[in-house]
Chain A
Amino acid sequence: MRVNASRWLIGTVGFGFAILVISPIGLKSAQAPSEPNGQATDISGLWLVHDPGSGDWSSFFDNVPKPAILPEIQKMNDEENARVAAGNVVSTGGRGANCPTGNLPMMMASSPPLNIVQSKDEVLIGSEASRGRIIYTDGRQHPDAAGLKAINSGDGHSIGHWEGDTLVVDTIGFPARTCDTRWPVMRVPGGGRAKDTTHLTERYKLINSGKQLSVTFTWEDPTIYLKPHTYSYTYDLVENGLPLEGGNDVTDSDLLKQAQGRSRGPNY
């Protein structure tokens, strides 16, 4: 009799255990809450680039190790810097519909915080003044050359994958030229450049118990660099922060006059 009772007990316990394991409740409890979408690391949040005390934004932009660049790129830098130093600080180029949108190296160095949304298939990085960039983590590859040209974005085309707790992002497809007459070829911190032949690798990793995000940038392009140009930024987490919205809500009355042909300057 005691033997039968123990068999019933085993059966009942087995029944309950199986229900728990197979039901969605059991599935949910089996996954750690710190593993969103199966990825242990979540870099979502509002991140403010950490400036070690450069003094101003231009100095901060150049406050990275200097790249080894080809002589013609150095010549381009010297000429453009001289023109800006002479007071030509405003772009005089048209900004037609064919002008590339976005500017990855500038956005990642900008002082307004980046707002990162990490989902299973995409990581979005929103900026203050535009919709920002997309990093595809769904396993897709870069488009072909025609596809890259059609994107026509200073953010290029980014695909990423996780190597342990590090998000490794591969970006190509930068525009050959922009519509900015001051720096027609996109600038990269330290004196580098990015264009249609350039390849960027980024490595995102949480540090300091998730309070900071380290991003290491490595730029490669044999038509610009003599060797890969590498530097890192640290971003501080802005807890419970809210993204600001800046940019082109047309507060510039001169812009309004120019396009409208009459004097009127409210905010739109």
Chain B
Amino acid sequence: MDKTYRCSLGVRRTLGFLLLALAAGLLAGLSSSAQAPQGVPMARQAPVPRDAAGHPDISGYWELRYDSRSVPPANLTQDAISREPAQRQHDVLATCFCALVGMPEVMEDGATLDIRQGPKVIGMLAKSPSSVRYIYTDGRSHPVKDEIDQVTNGNSIGHWEGDALMVDTIGFSDRGITLIPGGGFRTPDSHLVERFHLLNGGAILSVTSTWEDAKVFTTPHTYEFRYYKVPQIGLPLQYSCSANDQDRANFIMSAMKSSESTQVSH
């Protein structure tokens, strides 16, 4: 075997290794980025969008549809059962007077939810009268109890566990719309844990919510919403709520009065 042939064989071998490496690398990249949800065949999954840090990017416009809610009835304390009618009236008044709705209403107000994920904080905008909901993912902790400023959305901090964003919220105020899907209501003592997880290659956002509040629930109350991603919306309108609109006030209050009379007839 002459020297020229041996040299050319060596170059081929080296090139062969590099090609093999490229193929292996591509496979490794694809398998990592696909990461299908449990129970879903991975071959059918498109890769979810990811941010620069490699976390799934839940940014987008999201809407709930008729099949979006999986909400079992909550197990309520006797105290919560007796307080719920009054709490319902509270929420009607809050609606009537355009109070900032807060959690959990901000997550299901019937309009498209705009979620924007930055590297340190996630913002959520609803159409209702509401503050932006902020979820801090910069590693901070909740403020200590004496320093927390209670707000309708509470104080939310999040961290990633694999491809799931785990969000912990405390520090709710007693204002705004307080009723919780499935029963019960939030109070300043409520604790909410949410798990945000993209499904179907990012086309669906699953949010599993678990509420705990010893004065309201006898067991943790868990339900899931699945939001569908919608394309760019051209006009993300903000609901112009008027607390001075007498006709609107009468309409909403009449609903509350008929609710009261219904309870009496029972």
Contact = CB atoms under 8 A, between A and B. Distances in A.
Contacts of B180: none
Contacts of B14: 7, 10-11, 14
Nearest to B54: A28
B134 A23 contact: no
A119 B116 contact: yes
A186 B248 CA distance: 26
Contacts of B239: 101
B94 interface: yes
Contacts of A27: 29, 54
Contacts of B24: 15, 18-19
A243 interface: yes
B242 A95 contact: yes
Given A131-B130, A143-B235, A247-B100, A259 B249 contact: yes
Interface residues of B, number: 75
A184 B10 CA distance: 82
Given A24-B28, A245-B152, 7 more contacts: A15-B20, A117-B123, A117-B134, A152-B240, A248-B100, A260-B93, A268-B175
Interface of A: 3-4, 7, 10-12, 14-19, 21-24, 27-28, 31, 33, 35-38, 42, 44, 94-102, 115, 117-122, 124, 126, 128, 130-132, 134, 138, 140, 143, 147, 150-153, 240, 242-245, 247-250, 255-256, 258-260, 267-268
21 contacts: A3-B6, A3-B10, A7-B10, A11-B17, A11-B18, A18-B21, A22-B28, A24-B29, A44-B119, A94-B245, A97-B248, A115-B134, A119-B123, A120-B51, A131-B126, A243-B132, A244-B149, A247-B100, A255-B244, A259-B246, A268-B90
Q: Which 7 A-B pairs have the closest CB atoms?
A: A22-B25, A18-B21, A117-B123, A11-B17, A126-B132, A36-B119, A119-B116
